Structure 1
Amino acid sequence: MDETATPPTPTDPPAVARSGLIAVIGNPSSGRNSRDEDAVGAALKAFGPGAELYRWTPETDIAHTVERALADGAELIVAAGGDGTAMAVAQSMLGQSVPMAVLPLGTFNFFARGLRLSEDPVQAAQAIRDGTPSSIRVGQVNKRVFLNNASLGIYPAILKAREDIYARWGRRRVVAHWSVIKTFLRFQRPMNLRITADGDTRNYRTPLVFVARSAYQLELFGLRGAGAISDDHFAVLVAKGGSRADLFRLAARLVMSDAREGRDYELIRARDVSISTGRRRALLAFDGEKSFERSPFHFEMSSDLLNIVQPVPEDAEDAA
């Protein structure tokens, strides 16, 4: 790889005194309904004067809502929702001098949890209000932003099965677990993939490829690769095994944080990754969302920066 082509290291923008418009972009009427509505209301009060809710619905383009908030003079854009909402807002905020923040309302909130934000809306709003912006690079797959991970194989299939089961039986934890078992039982054969990582091409036979941009998620499951992410690389985990028994074994080891590099997966560290599935289209999952996309899949670090507000570290507060 030509190191001269490597993007410069991000430098943090200056801190902003937030006395103007704080635009909170969310759809609190969906999902958990009144709980999200109450959470957003509590957060708006915690942000103080100047905070305003910009509602959007899945039928509308969230980019238009972000553009309207910026045109209104917002000095901070807050994505109120789960990882999918944060990802959609981040897509529109790349390259903007105005920072964005995340108010966690969704189910998993891996990105917000990686920023060490509380899932209590008042505490999160206070931390955002007093936080400082940092410039980061985010992952992109075929030019679409993702903040945590993207994957091909068995995991996107699990998400699809879960959505189908939710539609029939409702959103319950036991239903989510059943979607995993059901997908594993239907598993037929692993994928044949060609992966090019920073110019090095290899062929793999695997049930799952997991492209991580979140060190928090890796650490949560005891997986290696956090160092690669801190160096602005992807951590690409290629699962080993080609049978149902292998999948159940790997799932159990992930739950126990006992999955090991070499035995259960191969780890690839790279800035630029291309994955060819051998099929014209394949199901791709990214930050909990999913869609059928055309192969090959090109993963790259964003050239534009995302200015994201992070809480002041506790040790810094203690020193003050």
Structure 2
Amino acid sequence: MSDPIAARPAQDRAGIRVICNDHSGRNSREAEAIDLAMKVLGPQAELCHVKGSDITETARAAVRDGYATVVAAGGDGTIMAVASALNGTDCTLGMLPLGTFNFFARGYDIPEDPEGAARVIAAGHAQTIDLGAVNGRLFLNNASIGVYPAILKERETVYRRWGRRRIAAHWSVLKTFWRFRRPLKVEIEVEGQRRRFRTPLVFAARSAFQLEHFGLQGADCIRDGGFSVFVTPDVGRLGLLSDALRLAVKQMRLGEDFELICADRLVIHTKRKRQLVACDGEKFLMDGPLEFTMVRDAFRIFTPPPGDEAAA
């Protein structure tokens, strides 16, 4: 359903609002990179620095104010927050990747340096995309329950001490796996059929790029317009550590280390009335059951034109 703030016709929109998450980024040089990106976008672009909790409302305000393009400058969590505000509107999303992994932007061949990403926006080529949602909340790359939300909590602690580095993110995975002791009892419903699992992790993926990056199967499920859902067996702490190492060297085994379910809609039933859910690196407490659906033609994003190498 379109949000009322989207009522303004597309032809009446103009200008670019760049929303920069002050909590994203890995080093001080990126401030200079943002300045270069703003020069590429030109005088029609306005830069707005916000805190994480204010991103979505700032994006909604940009839609209400008549901007044609809203740019998310940050990681996948920042892009997700802006995307949720643009769902169902006639605004176009631009991306200046500043996160740790930037899986969503990289999946669409967006350069990881802000200046190169700005050239993609300035080129003006856009496409309409589908997104996943859990209980109505959009996500870009993945949504999960179980050990991954615990990893995110540990990652926040590691980042505060060591900074936002990929090696720090990997270390938080190992620490959490070693400490994790609470597998979930769930029922996963697909097309009216329910299956029971005892598992430390249910991971619903929507990024073919992310799966291929880790050498995982399931990219075809995503390209066919659905989810790749990974369910890991209850193998204990040592088993989780072994899985982490196999994931790092791209040797996860279908049927042994995980089970794969392909679907464009599923429902996860848990014993808990409320469940902590991780969406693109952010944590949310949601009421069960958890319903995963596809949102078709959610909005438009700027991407490099086919065959274009200028932004690379």
Matched with 2:115 is: 122
> Contact 1:157 / 1:283 at 8 angstroms: preserved in 2?
no
Counterpart selection for 1:200 from 186, 193, 212: 193
> Contact 2:100 / 2:166 at 8 angstroms: preserved in 1?
no
Matched with 2:84 is: 91
**CA offsets 1:81-140 (integer angstroms, 9 cap, x no match):** 110110001001111122112110122111111111111111111122114211111011
Taking a change above 3 Å as real, the CA distance of residues 313 and 186 of structure 1, as seen in their structure-2 partners, is same
Give the TM-score normalised by the residue count of structure 2: 0.88
What CA distance in whole angstroms lies between the structure 2 residues aligned with 1:99 and 1:172? 30
Question: What percent of counterpart residues are identical?
Answer: 50
> Contact 1:82 / 1:106 at 8 angstroms: preserved in 2?
yes
What CA distance in whole angstroms lies between the structure 1 residues aligned with 2:15 and 2:191? 42
Letter in 1 for 2:34: V
What CA distance in whole angstroms lies between the structure 1 residues aligned with 2:228 and 2:129? 16
> Contact 2:21 / 2:78 at 8 angstroms: preserved in 1?
no
Runs of 4+ in 1 over 6 A off after TM superposition: none
Q: Does 1:75 align with 2:68?
A: yes
Matched with 2:244 is: 251
Which segments of 5 or more consecutive residues in structure 2 lack a partner in the other structure? 1-9
Which segments of 5 or more consecutive residues in structure 1 lack a partner in the other structure? 1-15
Matched with 1:283 is: 276
Matched with 1:9 is: none
Q: Does 1:106 align with 2:99?
A: yes
When structure 1 is superposed on structure 2, of 175-184 and 230-239 the one drifting more is: 175-184
Matched with 1:149 is: 142
Taking a change above 3 Å as real, the CA distance of residues 313 and 238 of structure 1, as seen in their structure-2 partners, is same
> Contact 2:110 / 2:304 at 8 angstroms: preserved in 1?
yes
When structure 1 is superposed on structure 2, of 28-37 and 131-140 the one drifting more is: 28-37
Secondary structure of residue in 1 paired with 2:256: coil
Matched with 2:4 is: none
Return the offset for 1:172. 5.7
> Contact 1:29 / 1:36 at 8 angstroms: preserved in 2?
no
Letter in 1 for 2:293: E
For the aligned residues, what is the CA RMSD?
2.4
What CA distance in whole angstroms lies between the structure 2 residues aligned with 1:35 and 1:144? 33
Secondary structure of residue in 1 paired with 2:52: coil
**CA offsets 1:153-179 (integer angstroms, 9 cap, x no match):** 111111112223444565566654443
What CA distance in whole angstroms lies between the structure 2 residues aligned with 1:84 and 1:214? 14
What CA distance in whole angstroms lies between the structure 2 residues aligned with 1:125 and 1:55? 17
**CA offsets 1:195-214 (integer angstroms, 9 cap, x no match):** 11232211011111110011
Taking a change above 3 Å as real, the CA distance of residues 181 and 299 of structure 1, as seen in their structure-2 partners, is same
What CA distance in whole angstroms lies between the structure 2 residues aligned with 1:171 and 1:127? 25
What CA distance in whole angstroms lies between the structure 2 residues aligned with 1:214 and 1:78? 20
Counterpart selection for 2:179 from 177, 186, 192: 186
